[in-house]
Amino acid sequence: MSIVDTPERRQLRELTRAFVTREVLPHLDDWERAGEVPRALHATAAKLGLLGIGFPESVGGSGGDLLDSIIVTEELIRSGGSSGLVAALFTHGIALPHMVAAAGARTGGSLGGRLGGLSSPGDESLIERYVRPTLSGTMIGALAITEPDGGSDVAGIRTTARRDGDHYVVNGSKTYITSGHRADFVTTAVCTDFPGSGELTLLVIDKESPGFTVGRRLEKLGWHCSDTAELSFAGVRVPVANRIGAENTGFLAIMQHFAAERLSLATQAYATAQRCVELAVRWCRDRETFGRPLASRQLIRHRLAEMHTRAEAARSYVHEVAGRVAAGEPVVTEVAMAKNVAVAACDHVVDQALQLHGGFGYLRDAEVERHYRDARILGIGGGTTEIMNEIIAKGMGL
């Protein structure tokens, strides 16, 4: 039996599929045009236990591990959702883990104990003030790392935080922040030394803090139902109690959670590919040209077979690597390879699937059109394909 095909995980798939069918599919087109998903969707997902998958029950989660999170992401897309929906609904998957890990390090628990000795007295209160409400669907969190002139250069962050008594004074800006418009708080990477020094700290900044401005809603090629924002901080006073872990441990915390984020994006990639294979097969069976179904033609059958092969191969490799990460293995190189393999498969499959749909595939009414647009960000987010190749090359000793 596959590690992702246990009776419990089959039930999780069924629960996710029912959620998508009932709560998502009737409204997804409207959310795409509105540019965001409603806050009520978070509460609904929380009541079903989906929002808390992968987070310990001790912090308000539903339990489970990385593989369970992957199952939810995969099934959400394969049931007719989208990677944009995953980004909008599960932004807490990148906003909360640093808090959970730091609190676990302080209490000596199993909430990410590799941060042992790097915790802060305020970490336990962050669980009550931010983690539990978010996992219950009453708050929305975001993660702010990327800056207008920084891109993938995390160590080069220029947003500064100057200590002033019991507060930090934050100045700077962030961009491309997923759920930035709807978020009630933002887990923010700041520099506690001179700009670009690499001495990073994570602060939780409340949206209502004076001097914190949410800028224009960014219009994107894809992920239309996921709101994206620019953020600016002008003398924002943030309590020291809102610091995650010890000062200057932010870079380590960010790096430790990149594996889960990258595997989530890899999952979105292969699941999108799988869904597009299903859509293409259905279309080619129903669509007739010159009196015959498209699927009756050898050229079409072979193209579908190749698409299916790439999608399934990517899925198998991502699952294998995810299992190793869940077991605690340090597989940084393999995670990078898994992301690139899945993204490459997705890029090929969505392109071929839209081509097979012909003119209809180019219309907003076609589901395959949404996947085609949404897929383009997967080779950029969480570290670009080029950054992944640098990690892989380093792992080869180059």
Cross-strand partners of 161:
170
Three-class DSSP category at 48: coil
Cross-strand partners of 144:
188
Residue bearing tokens 């906003």: 95
CA atoms within 13 A on the CB side of 279: 30
Three-class DSSP category at 164: strand
Say if CB 350 and CB 311 are below 8 A apart. Answer: no
Go through 340-356 and write b for each residue having 16 or more CB atoms within 10 A of its CB, e for each that does not. bbbbbbbbbbbebbbeb
Q: List, by residue number, the catalytic residues.
A: 261
Instruction: Using CB atoms within 10 Å of the CB of residue 277, give its burial: 0 to 12 exposed, 13 to 18 middle, 19+ buried.
Output: buried
Residue bearing tokens 């995969």: 74
One-letter amino acid of 297: R
Q: Nearest to residue 200, comparing CAs of 251, 126, 139?
A: 251
Cα separation of 144 and 173, whole Å? 9
**DSSP E strands, 179-268:** 185-191, 200-206, 212-217, 228-239, 243-244
